[in-house]
């Protein structure tokens, strides 16, 4: 039996990470969290049980009435199809894609909240509470994106240590939003990185849960939950059907496809293991490998000279833009700057599939 008190001290398996990634995708691409119906539909098409995977994720505290809890997801237990499920700041530990989009800006805001709360002079008989406004925050931390600032009240309310209670709740107006800051933020003075923040939050939640419900039980793996290792692997980046079609087309063509299939196989493996640098390098290698099949010398020749549908051409042109992160991965020399490459920089599989569809057509028609 596995006991877990601190979410910062555990490692999720591949399926659990993929589950979190599917919830994160709409936020990464559109800035919104999905409904539970969407999450279930994505997984049922893979013959996976989203409810069982959600139940397998660890959390601290409890989710009964009056309980406090903290998890990688904003919701635990049974959900209705139209309910929204998001990820907490803790999810950036297993999902590095969320570090620049969620965790790092949140920590900057958190310490700004500590600073402004500390600046309030206590008055006898008055509530000692700073006020955080969207306008003041944007001016104080100009690096924050407008969309992050706009959605910040909801994020703060999902985190136990910054949840708005009573006068701390957010109020929106024509010029933005305003909300109170509670003294709970002082608990995070030493939480200068994500791991320390998650550890501190888990400790607070256990304390609150114990005060509300009684001594808290540590998380235990549910022995009735099916072993995740026995579940099928997540949907591959490039489906098996396309790979088989390429192999069959190559067998009837003078063009050899063994290297192409090898590159795509390695791409699938590295995408499943969430290695963004390898994925970008392999996609770049595929783009450089296939032009001769079309009678072209470069990828640009494919998009400019090969006849195809307008939608397919748009996909291929969009894929060309991913040469830049591919160049970054392969040619940037070591420096003192932190790398920002993550899985969100990898192109959607639809872009690569569109290229492979054109390769299939060329293999079947070009001598």
Q: How does DSSP assign 66-85, residue by residue?
A: T--EEESBS--S---TTSB-
Residue 225 pLDDT: 39
Q: From residue 193, how far is each of 106, 108, 110 by CA, in Å?
A: 11, 10, 11
Neighbours of 129 (CB within 10 A): 14
Q: How far, in whole angstroms, is CA 115 from its chain's centroid?
A: 29
DSSP count for the chain of H helices, then E strands: 15, 7
CA atoms within 13 A on the CB side of 228: 20
Contact 110, 96 (CB under 8 A): no
Residue 212 pLDDT: 64
Residue 253 pLDDT: 87
Q: How does DSSP assign 200-218, residue by residue?
A: HHHHHHHHHHHHHHSSPPP
Residues 6+ positions from 229 with CB-CB distance below 8 Å = 13
Tens-place pLDDT, residues 91-145: 999 998 899 999 999 999 999 999 999 998 887 877 778 899 999 999 999 999 9
Strands 131-133 and 176-180: antiparallel
List of the chain residues with pLDDT < 70 = 1-4, 63-67, 164-170, 212-234, 337-340, 366-367
Distance from C-alpha of 141 to C-alpha of 139, rounded to nearest angstrom? 6
Longest dimension (CA), the chain: 88
Residue 18 pLDDT: 92
Q: Is 365 exposed, middle or buried (0-12, 13-18, 19+ CB in 10 A)?
A: exposed
Distance from C-alpha of 93 to C-alpha of 72, rounded to nearest angstrom? 9
Contact 317, 289 (CB under 8 A): no
Distance from C-alpha of 56 to C-alpha of 104, rounded to nearest angstrom? 27
3-state secondary structure of 59: strand
Residue 112 pLDDT: 95
């Amino acid at each position: 039996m596995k006991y877990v008190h601190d979410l910062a001290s555990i490692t999720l398996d591949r399926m659990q990470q993929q589950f979190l990634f599917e919830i994160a995708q709409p936020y990464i691409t559109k800035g919104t969290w999905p409904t539970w119906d969407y999450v279930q539909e994505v997984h049922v098409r893979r013959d996976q049980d989203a409810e069982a995977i959600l139940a397998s994720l660890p959390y601290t505290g409890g989710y009964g009435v009056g309980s406090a809890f903290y998890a990688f997801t904003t919701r635990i237990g049974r959900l209705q199809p139209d309910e929204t499920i998001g990820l907490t700041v803790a999810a950036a530990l297993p999902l590095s894609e969320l570090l620049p989009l969620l965790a790092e800006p949140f920590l900057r805001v958190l310490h700004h909240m500590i600073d402004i709360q500390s600046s309030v002079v206590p008055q006898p008989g008055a509530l000692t509470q700073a006020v955080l406004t969207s306008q003041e925050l944007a001016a104080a931390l100009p690096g924050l994106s407008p969309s992050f600032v706009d959605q910040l009240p909801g994020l703060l309310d999902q985190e136990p240590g910054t949840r708005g209670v009573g006068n701390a709740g957010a109020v929106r107006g024509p010029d933005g939003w305003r909300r109170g800051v509670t003294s709970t933020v002082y608990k995070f003075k030493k939480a200068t990185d994500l791991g320390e923040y998650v550890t501190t939050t888990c400790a607070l939640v256990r304390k609150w849960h114990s005060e509300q419900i009684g001594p808290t039980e540590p998380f235990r793996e549910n022995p009735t939950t099916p072993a995740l290792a026995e579940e099928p692997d997540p949907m591959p980046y490039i489906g098996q059907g396309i790979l088989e079609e390429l192999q069959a087309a190559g067998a009837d063509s003078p063009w050899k496809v063994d290297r192409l299939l090898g590159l795509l196989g390695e791409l699938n493996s590295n995408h499943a293991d969430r290695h963004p640098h390898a994925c970008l390098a392999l996609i770049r290698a595929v783009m450089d490998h296939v032009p001769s099949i079309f009678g072209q010398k470069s990828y640009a020749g494919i998009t400019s000279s090969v006849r195809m549908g307008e939608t397919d051409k748009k996909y291929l042109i969009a894929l060309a833009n991913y040469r830049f992160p591919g160049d970054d991965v392969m040619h940037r020399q070591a420096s003192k700057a932190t790398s920002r490459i993550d899985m969100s920089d990898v192109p959607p599989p639809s872009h690569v599939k569109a290229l492979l569809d054109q390769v299939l057509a060329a293999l079947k028609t070009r001598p």
